[in-house]
Amino acid sequence: MAHRIGVMGGDGIGPEVVAEGLKVVSAAGVEFETVDYDLGGNRYLRDGTILPDSVVDEWRDLDALYVGAVGTPDVPPGVIERGLLLKMRFDLDLYVNLRPFVLADAGIDFCVVRENTEGAYAGEGGFLRKDTPQEVATQGSVNTRMGVERCVRYAFDLARSRRGHLTLVHKTNVLTFSGDLWERTFAEVTGEYADVETAYNHVDAACIYFVQDPQRYDVIVTDNLFGDILTDLGGAVSGGIGFASSANLNPARTGASMFEPVHGSAPDITGKGIANPTAAILSAAMMLDFLGEDAAADRIRTACADPATQVEGTVAIGDAIAARVG
Ligand code: IPM
Ligand code: MN
């Protein structure tokens, strides 16, 4: 049966790269039908719509969501991020943000499993005495045993299916409450995965290893904010953000999972036809993995890794990859 995919091109270069991703999925012989959603910064500026609950309800019944990028410089920070992207992650319970980094020539091949529904992103906090000299702002980090454990378990399962090595990244020497919860949960689950070797890095040390020795990693599991920062660094050391793909997963499959490149809407190059669609195409491959289309996903990854596909221009790159996946 054809997969039903909700498509949100979004803002800036989003629609340009998503078009190439869908072109490649078709070329790989996967049958799908799309439902388009016009949402993002531009839609918000036009009529104030961000993400109606009725749309989230429609999404629950789809097989997957494929997203380009959202955000425009004219909208204040947080409006689209919280109202659209984070709402999507929270409401659909997309509790794993999976971000792979591969640079075969350099021996780099690791995944970051980023907790995607809690931590500093939860929205806990507020102002006191706002706009006075005594103003106070707090922004808490929310860590639940259930939320940490399900994410850690996903990471152990993933490590088991790969090279059998899992590193917890946190800052347990300073974040003694949340770090302790993560550490204890990790230690308890470790007992069930005797075949997986484990390690621990403080997040600052992990930044050094990302730059100097990323080959040491197989799977990393970390909290939401550390994962956000580390995965930009991961992209930078493994071919650039033009290759960084991601999956926002609901492994329990109680709602559609969402697939998008790590990069943003890049308003500076919008409409010029020069954005690299490879990250979006690799995100489509992750979507196909999740939909059980493993063979097509592998063909797409192989084509993306072929230097011959890295030609000039968004459409030309999409065509070069599409020509190799049939
Ligand atoms: C990402 C992005 C988002 C995040 C922003 C746009 C809310 O940076 O997906 O990494 O911080 O999670
Ligand atoms: Mn980010």
Pocket test for ligand 1, best of 51, 72, 81 (most atoms within 8 A of CB): 81
241 lines ligand 1 (CB under 6 A): no
Tokens matching residue 321: 């990859």
Distance CA 244, CA 261 (A): 6
* Each residue's pLDDT tens digit, 222-258: 999 999 999 999 999 999 989 999 999 999 998 899 9
Q: Tokens 């993995």: give the residue.
A: 289
Distance CA 21, CA 15 (A): 10
Distance from the alpha carbon of residue 91 to the mean position of ligand 1, in angstroms: 16
85 lines ligand 1 (CB under 6 A): yes
Identify the pLDDT of residue 176. 98
Distance CA 35, CA 27 (A): 19
87 lines ligand 1 (CB under 6 A): no
* Each residue's pLDDT tens digit, 171-219: 999 999 999 999 999 999 999 999 999 999 999 999 999 999 999 999 9
Identify the pLDDT of residue 207. 98
228 lines ligand 1 (CB under 6 A): yes
Identify the pLDDT of residue 1. 80
Q: In whole angstroms, how far apart are CA 137 and each of 123, 124, 131, 157?
A: 12, 11, 11, 39
DSSP string computed for 36-72: E---SHHHHHHH-----HHHHHHHHTSSEEEEEE---
**Residue 95: half-sphere exposure toward Cβ, Cα within 13 Å:** 18
Q: Tokens 């809407």: give the residue.
A: 265
Of 102, 104, 103, 82, which is closest to residue 91 (Cα–Cα)?
82
Residue nearest to atom 9 of ligand 1 (CA): 262
Distance from the alpha carbon of residue 228 to the mean position of ligand 2, in angstroms: 5
Distance CA 326, CA 321 (A): 10
**Residue 36: half-sphere exposure toward Cβ, Cα within 13 Å:** 7
Active site residues: 121, 171, 204, 228, 232
Distance from the alpha carbon of residue 226 to the mean position of ligand 2, in angstroms: 10
Distance CA 92, CA 94 (A): 6
Of 256, 291, 248, which is closest to residue 57 (Cα–Cα)?
256
Tokens matching residue 161: 């299916």
Q: Is the pTM of this model over 0.75?
A: yes
Residue nearest to atom 12 of ligand 1 (CA): 228
Distance CA 242, CA 269 (A): 13
Distance from the alpha carbon of residue 82 to the mean position of ligand 1, in angstroms: 10
Cα angle vertex 179, ends 249, 170, to 5°?
Answer: 65
Amino acid at 214: P
79 lines ligand 1 (CB under 6 A): no
For the chain, list residues with pLDDT below 50. Answer: none
Q: In whole angstroms, how far apart are CA 96 and each of 144, 182, 294?
A: 14, 15, 20
Amino acid at 6: G
Distance from the alpha carbon of residue 40 to the mean position of ligand 2, in angstroms: 17
Phi, psi (5° rounding) for residue 108? -95, 125
**85 CA: nearest ligand 1 atom:** 7
Phi, psi (5° rounding) for residue 153? -65, -40
81 lines ligand 1 (CB under 6 A): yes
Identify the pLDDT of residue 199. 98
Q: Are 167 and 155 in contact (CB under 8 A)?
A: no
Distance from the alpha carbon of residue 326 to the mean position of ligand 2, in angstroms: 33
Q: In whole angstroms, how far apart are CA 124 and each of 118, 214, 255?
A: 10, 33, 24
Distance CA 59, CA 257 (A): 9
Pocket test for ligand 1, best of 90, 96, 228, 260 (most atoms within 8 A of CB): 228
Amino acid at 302: T
Residue nearest to atom 6 of ligand 1 (CA): 81
Distance CA 83, CA 258 (A): 16
Q: Are 218 and 185 in contact (CB under 8 A)?
A: no
Identify the pLDDT of residue 56. 97
